[in-house]
Structure formats: structure tokens, C-alpha cells
Structure 1
Amino acid sequence: MATHVDTLIVGAGGIGSAAAWHLARRDAEVLLVEQNAAPATAAPATTAGPGTPAAAPARGRHPFALVHNDPVRLAMLREALPHWHDLEVETGRGLVHETGGVLHGFVPDFDELTERLPLFGIDAHPLDPGAAERRWPGIRFDGRVLFTPQAGQVDAGATIEGLRESASAHGATTQMGTRVTRLRVLGDDEVSADLERVDEHGETIGEPEQVIARRAVVAVGAWTNKLLERIIALPDMAAVRRQRSTHERLDAASGAWPVIAHHPDPASRRYRSWQGALEAVEHTGSVALTWAAAGKAVDPDAGPSRADPRQRAAAQRYVRDWLPGADAGAFTETQTTSLGTADRQFVIDRIGPVVVGAGLSERDFAFVPTIGRILADLTEYDDAPHAPARFSLRPRRRLDAIAR
């Protein structure tokens, strides 16, 4: 016998939990389901040679990055900042750690960013490299530095737990260890979901269940294609696995480092070993490096693959050249999997009774409360303003918006 609910949210990660938070505070009936029985907490294994990196834990610190030159994204961040404050007050947790953020390297729009960011409530201070190196010993800087003091790190695990707990306090129901095996659109205001319970190893337990909902919000990240490809024409996107190299700091007592974004000059041979822009986040005496453009399309259900020795070598060389305050030789490697879109835009839209939120990387976590609010609006209101056209599920509308 089917269970009937108003809104089913599939995926209790960042944006799924944020959508539940917004909807529950509006007194909407919400069932939030998540295939993981519990968040991952195991520490990854350390490797200093060829091998298979561990999957990264679900909990951890993500960049709280605020530097964008796109008015649409900046408006979303301007909305997000008070939401973050509200969530911290409501949960009594410190979620955003304002260590600051620095952008350096090849930044052609440096002056424009310096002028535009304050228009959206984001402080931006240009620094010369010498001043930045005196301020943060152990980091070398590449040309002018743009410092954003409100940036830093966000505790992703605590944020997701806080969103779920707050949503539950306002009446939402959460079921962990619940996998959606099939979605079917039954009408303009009716969608069916087949559910199965799973244990911490992903093994099925109990009997299958069925839920009928007026709306289904799908926020399953790398699993979006697997769940939706038979019922919605999706933009070009795929699950992408990235390799992360975490190095111990040698001077951890000197204070926290800012979140680092270092952009290479594509025309210079100086950066020939790089694999796109470099992002680094320091936490508890170590710094984690990720090549933003590196990664390969994978099956999200596949286990970790062998480490790419080229990425490892590039990360070690980067640490030696640019982070002398960290140890290039001793490191831990992990892998993360997220949904990447070919045009690097989010997916935020509704078709019929199905609402979709996808396409966020770890460095996009600051957007989570705003995207949750947009998903909640699309769920509740037929006449709600659509999300920006560039985030559309409709490929033609999406392409036309990007072209403009």
C-alpha cells in the first residue's frame, strides 16, 4: 500500500536538506530520504606512492568561496549570507569559519572583481604579494592578491546535520538508509517513487515501499543521471571523480591559512605541469589541494580508482614551489565524486512534478541555502519565478541563456 505525502525530497545532502529546511519552516509536509544509512566518518588511508586512494569522508571542511564575477551568482551569494547566519543561530553551531580567502595568479578581471564584489555585500581587498606573504608565512603568492575576509571554510557535515535537525524540528520526516530505485511521473501533480531500505553496506533489508507525492525534489548529486535519465531530458552532465592531495603543514602554529584559489596563465610555460586552477583548504594542521579542472567521468557506484601519478606529481611540485610551509613528501590521497555539467552551470528547475537541483562542486557549498530556497519555491508555487534560464533542465533554453 502506497504512502502519500505532499513533497518527497530524494537526497539529504546539502541542497536536499536545505530545501527540506525551507519547506518545513513554511509548514509544508516533507519526507526527506537518503540512501546512506549514516554519514561516512572513516578516515582515509595514507599513501605516498602508487595505489588506490580512499573515498573522501562525507563530513569535512569545504571552501566557503565568494569570488565570482557573475551578477547572478553574486546575487545568490548575497541572499545566502543571512541564511547562513540564521542557520547558525537556529542550530547553535558555528558552521562558517571566516579564515578569509585569497585569489592570485592569472586574474584578468582583478580590478573589476575588486569593484564589483562590494556591491553585493562581499568585502574585497587587493594586496601586493609581499604584504600577503608577510601576513601568511608559508605561502608564496603569484602577482596581486585579492583577499575576501568573509570567505573561509564551511563545516559541511555539521551544516547538513543542522539543516536536517532543524527541518525535523519544524515537522519534516527524515529516513536515512532509504534508496529510491525508480521514479515515475503519473501526472502534472503526482509522482510515484519506489523505495527500498538499505543497511550501512548498501544491502537491501525489509520489503519495498511506494510513496506517492505531489512533488518530488531530486538532489542526488552524482546519481542524478541514473535516477532521472529515463523520465527527463537532462543537460550534458556526468559524475566526475577528482583526486585530492592533503599535506601536513610545517608551520601550523603560525595560524590558519586562508582558502586559496590560484589560477594559471594558459599562455605561459611556467604552468605546464598544472591541471587547471588549484584550490587549497587548510584545516587542523594540514592543507588539502584539488586541481579544479582535473577528474574523469565515472559510475558513482564504482569504488575508488587507482591514483593518477601525474596529479600526485603536480601536487607535490606545487607544494614545493608555492606552499613551502607544507610538506610535499608526506601526504594523504582521497577521491571525491560530484556531478559536473559540461557548461559548468548548476541545474535548478522543475518539469511537471519533478524538481531538480544538481551540479554543485565542493567549492559551491556557499550557495546551498539559496539553492534550497529556490527548490522550495519551485516545489510550492506554480507561479514562482523560475530559476535563472542558464540553470534550466531544458537544453535549448539553457544554451540560449548561456549564449546571451
Structure 2
Amino acid sequence: MAGSRYVVVGAGLAGAATAWQLAAGGHEVTIVEQSVPANDAGSSHGSARIFRYAYPDPFYTGLVVRSRAGWDELVALGGRRLITPTGSLDFGARRDPEGIAAVLAGAGVEHELLPAAEAGRRWPQIRFDTSVLWHPGAGVIDARTAVETMLDLAVAHGAQLLTGWPVAAVRPHHGGYRLESAHGAVLDAGHLVVSAGGWLPQLLGQLPLPEAFLAQFPALQVRQENAYHFPYRDQPGQEEWPTFIHKAESIQAYGLPGGRDAGFRGQKLAEYNAGRVLPSAAAQDGLIDPANRERVIDYVRRHLPGLEPEPYAETTCLFTNTPTEDFIIDRAGNITVLSPCSGHGAKFAPLLGQLAAGLATGEPTVPEAFRPSLAAEGARL
């Protein structure tokens, strides 16, 4: 049996970031991961996640600005390239490029608002159906390398990483908590940080949390999303391809250079929030939805002339959604629950680690929108 003041459950982007911040702050930290860090069954694997500033809500754009400083620090400390600059395009009848441009202007983020014809001349590999917002500060996050870098830094500060450690039970114990693994190992914690991604719905009820806290907790929806890699038609590589978000009337699609995941020869495409709903991540089967594949292929035929309309690789991944798409960073007693979810959390990882570590150590700087328990105390969210 071993003990640690802070135990972080889950070694994905959010858990790794929190462990790094706690360990760098001089705290005793143990990270437990049911498999291995950034494994393919979770939400933090692979080399391709979008980093972007473009949000219709100034609140989130402001958080991206803060998060970028954390990424720059992480790169400086870890010595690894974590964000490949590509720029990003936003367009479509339901995307409101003009409104997002106003948000970026208010945040001082470089951008251009272009007519569809001009955007088509600059990016002939894409067909545009509305005006287009371009912001060059966007890029592609290497999620797996980011996780590895943050864990390396945490371990360098004295943290312990335990892999192959699935949590089976958590019980109050001597003013803290006793964790039991599915294999019979035991670990004691003074404070618990739970960052379990798509496994959170099934784990939440096993935690010794107050009923009032659970009553205010948003319903979590886990989806098994489908993603596809389409080969570039005429170009030798991905240098000319930006990331993009296209919200048309019939489909919400996003794309980005697939990087290492795609052998550096294709664009990663997906329909947003179109995957099968699961009770939890444990129910995933990794099977592609044929109807979804056909919709995305049809989308490529109609909107992306720069790609061959037949995927050469495909995969599934997990989205864990809240009803508002806001994150959860909340605390009850000495348990901090962290779910930076809804398919857009990766870009905030360093900042979310700072916020979660601060909440766990008694420095509550988490925005109220991320703390549903405050509603029970009469706070206005």
C-alpha cells in the first residue's frame, strides 16, 4: 500500500496538465492511468487536434489567449514541438464568420474576413459558400506528445506515474480517500483529482461525493465519433492546408492536416457530434458508422476538390459532452472533478491544468461557468 497527498486519476491531456502543475508547485503527486497515457481508447491520443482562437463567445477566445501562454511555456520547458502552425478558416451559414471576426478583434487576435470568391482564389482546394474568416495563429496540436511532455515534467518534479491501474473503488479513509484498483492494489490520497474522460459517467457514482454536488452536476453524454483521413489530390504534402470549421445548413464538418496519424499525406475530416451515443467509454467498439462515412465522403465530393473522395484510413474517438459544451472543473470536499470536454478541450490543456491544480490546492480561480456546484449555494452562473 502506498500513499500520496494528491492522486490524479487519468493521464490524458487534462490529467497530465494538472499533475504537472501540482508537482511543479511542490506537491506530492501520483497519477494513476487504467491503461497507458494518451492511449487510443481515450480522448487524448494521436497527433492531430485543432488549436484555434475562433469562438463566437469572447469568454472562450480569452481563455485561448491565456492558454497559448501555457503552451509556449510547455514547449520551452519540454523542448518539443507541440503546435504546428497552419492557420484556420471558419465559414458556413451557421458559423457566423462576421460575428467571430468581431470577437477576435476585441481580443486583439490577428484575422481577416474574406469574400467567398477571394478565399476560393487563396485556397482553391476548398469550396466556400459564405464569407470566410481566416486567422493565421491557429494550428494543429500533437496531443500525444503534449501528454508525454507534461508527464515527463511532472515526474521530473517528483510525481509517480502508475500505469495499468484501473480504479475499481474509492472510499473515505482517515480524512482522505482509499483507492482500490481492479487488480487489488491500494493507494491512499489526501486529495483526489478525477480526470477520467469518457469513463467519468460510470466512475462518478462510485465517488464519495455529496448528493447536493451530484444533483447539480450536468448530464454527460459520451459519443463515439468517426474520423477519416482523405488523401491530398494534387499536392505533395499538407503545407498548403489549413484547419477549418464549416457549419452549413446540412452538416457541421471540421478538418485539419492529419500529421503523423495520417502519414503526413492526408486531411483528417469529421462530422461534429455525429457519432453513436454510449453509456460510457467502456461501451465503445471502435466500429465506423457506414452512414456517417457516406455523409462525409459526400461532403468531400461537394466541398473539398483538393482531396480524393475516398478515405485511406479511418478511426473512432470519444467526445464527452455537457449540455452547454462548457467544461467542468469543480470540487466537493477533497475531490476535484475535471471534465474539459465537448470536443474542444484540447487547446486549453495547460490552462485547465493550472485551474484544476489551483482549485485542488485551495486557490479557487476557476470561472463560475465551470463550477456547477455553485448553483447549490445560490451563485449566479
Aligned twin of 1:190: 176
Aligned twin of 2:261: none
Alignment partner of 1:16 is 2:15: yes
1:326 alignment partner, SS class: coil
Runs of 4+ in 1 over 6 A off after TM superposition: 54-57
Amino acid paired to 1:122: V
**Shift of the alpha carbon at 1:93?**
0.6
- 1:151-166 equivalent positions in 2, closer than 5 A: 151-166=138-153
Pick the aligned partner of 2:97 from 97, 106, 110: 110
Instruction: Check conservation: 2:12, 2:42, Cα contact below 8 A.
Output: no
Amino acid paired to 2:24: R
Deviation per residue, 1:346-374 (Å, 9 max, x gap): 11111111101114244331111111111
Alignment partner of 1:176 is 2:163: yes
Pick the aligned partner of 1:145 from 120, 123, 132: 132
Instruction: Check conservation: 1:279, 1:292, Cα contact below 8 A.
Output: yes
Give the Cα separation in 2 of the matches to 1:110 and 1:138.
19
Aligned twin of 2:81: 94
Aligned twin of 1:324: 305
**Shift of the alpha carbon at 1:65?**
2.4
Aligned twin of 2:6: 7
Amino acid paired to 1:64: F
Deviation per residue, 1:295-348 (Å, 9 max, x gap): 222131234254323211110111011101111134422111232112222111
**Shift of the alpha carbon at 1:213?**
1.4
Deviation per residue, 1:23-58 (Å, 9 max, x gap): 1111111111111146547xxxxxxxxxxxx99992
Give the Cα separation in 1 of the matches to 2:349 and 2:24.
16
Amino acid paired to 1:289: L
Alignment partner of 1:293 is 2:276: no
**In the comparison of the two structures, how many residue pairs are matched?**
367
Cα pair distance change 1:228/1:28, threshold 3 Å: same
Give the Cα separation in 2 of the matches to 1:38 and 1:75.
29
Pick the aligned partner of 1:240 from 211, 223, 231: 223
Amino acid paired to 1:281: L
Give the Cα separation in 1 of the matches to 2:286 and 2:13.
25
Task: Determine what percentage of the aligned residue pairs are the same residue.
Answer: 27
Aligned twin of 2:29: 30
Amino acid paired to 1:385: P
Amino acid paired to 1:174: L
Instruction: Check conservation: 2:219, 2:322, Cα contact below 8 A.
Output: yes
2:172 alignment partner, SS class: strand
Deviation per residue, 1:99-126 (Å, 9 max, x gap): 0111001256433322321433422211
Amino acid paired to 1:217: V
Give TM-score, length-normalised by structure 2: 0.89
Aligned twin of 2:254: 279
**Shift of the alpha carbon at 1:250?**
0.8
Aligned twin of 2:247: 263
Give the Cα separation in 2 of the matches to 1:8 and 1:38.
15
Pick the aligned partner of 1:385 from 361, 364, 379: 364
Q: Higher mean Cα deviation, 237-246 or 349-358?
A: 237-246
Q: Gaps (5+ residues) in structure 2?
A: 259-263
Instruction: Check conservation: 2:43, 2:197, Cα contact below 8 A.
Output: no
In terms of fraction of residues, the more strand-rich structure is 1
Give the Cα separation in 2 of the matches to 1:371 and 1:63.
16
Q: Gaps (5+ residues) in structure 1?
A: 42-53, 197-203, 266-270
Give the Cα separation in 1 of the matches to 2:146 and 2:323.
28
Give TM-score, length-normalised by structure 1: 0.84
1:66 alignment partner, SS class: coil
Cα pair distance change 1:108/1:225, threshold 3 Å: closer
Instruction: Check conservation: 1:247, 1:332, Cα contact below 8 A.
Output: yes
RMSD (Å) for aligned C-alpha atoms? 2.5
Alignment partner of 1:133 is 2:110: no
Cα pair distance change 1:321/1:6, threshold 3 Å: same
Instruction: Check conservation: 2:37, 2:148, Cα contact below 8 A.
Output: no
Aligned twin of 2:201: 225
Cα pair distance change 1:145/1:333, threshold 3 Å: same
Instruction: Check conservation: 1:61, 1:153, Cα contact below 8 A.
Output: yes
Alignment partner of 1:367 is 2:342: no
Cα pair distance change 1:242/1:319, threshold 3 Å: same
Amino acid paired to 1:15: A
Alignment partner of 1:346 is 2:327: yes
Give the Cα separation in 1 of the matches to 2:247 and 2:378.
26
Amino acid paired to 2:227: R
Q: Higher mean Cα deviation, 166-175 or 304-313?
A: 304-313
Give the Cα separation in 1 of the matches to 2:23 and 2:202.
28
